[in-house]
Amino acid sequence: METLDRYLRTQDAFDAVLATVRPDQWDAASACEHWTVRDVTGHVIWGLEVLRHHVSGREFTVENGPAGSEKPGELTGADPLATWRATREATGAAVTDEMLDRPAPAWYVTNRPDATVTDYLALLTFDTLVHTWDIGSALGVDVRMEPDIVAPSFSLARLIISRTPGTFGPRVKPPADADPQTRFLAFLGRSA
């Protein structure tokens, strides 16, 4: 399934960027306004925990991980990379093909009553893709997004973006000859 494949490849890219983070960089500013590298990592971990708990029939009630929340970095523990990898592995083990057509987690269904787990995977792909760039660009890592992941993520962004404090800022005007990645980031208020 394409959505699942894009979700997994985006996680690979996020993992590769996190593997470059030095111990003294976890609390450095990220390109995601108001959040450190640790906070962005905690937010991505939170999204996976929501999914893992949901497909296991439980609700994840931790509230410091959604967009705009304060201190999502607390979810990373003492070793953010190890916590990310353990969460990724546990979530991967819990998500099966049979679950993809089930209703999405409750907080996502509030906005889209017909949303499925597959739709939530698309949201996690979009979110992880953007935050891979947020961390990488802040630390001087050249993050190149795969075009077949940018296109559906850009389409989703056009449908769901809320430009409120702590989420996405105003659009940035991209150069006339900008590639799809630069246009995508500009739409999200980020300068490539």
Domain that holds residue 102: 2-187
Is residue 118 included in any domain, yes or no? yes
Is residue 71 included in any domain, yes or no? yes
Position 165 scores a pLDDT of 62
Is residue 160 included in any domain, yes or no? yes
Q: What is the CATH number of the domain that holds 118?
A: 1.20.120.450
Is residue 56 included in any domain, yes or no? yes
Position 164 scores a pLDDT of 67
Is residue 108 included in any domain, yes or no? yes
Is residue 121 included in any domain, yes or no? yes
- Spans of the chain, pLDDT less than 50: none
DSSP for the chain?
A: -HHHHHHHHHHHHHHHHHTT--GGGTTSB-SSTT-BHHHHHHHHHHHHHHHHHHHTT------S-STT-S-GGGGG-S-HHHHHHHHHHHHHHH--GGGTTSBPPHHHHTT-TT-BHHHHHHHHHHHHHHHHHHHHHHTT------HHHHHHHHHHHHHH----TTS-----PPPTT--HHHHHHHHTT---
Position 59 scores a pLDDT of 87
pTM of the model: 0.94
Domain count, the chain: 1
Is residue 192 included in any domain, yes or no? no
Position 112 scores a pLDDT of 77
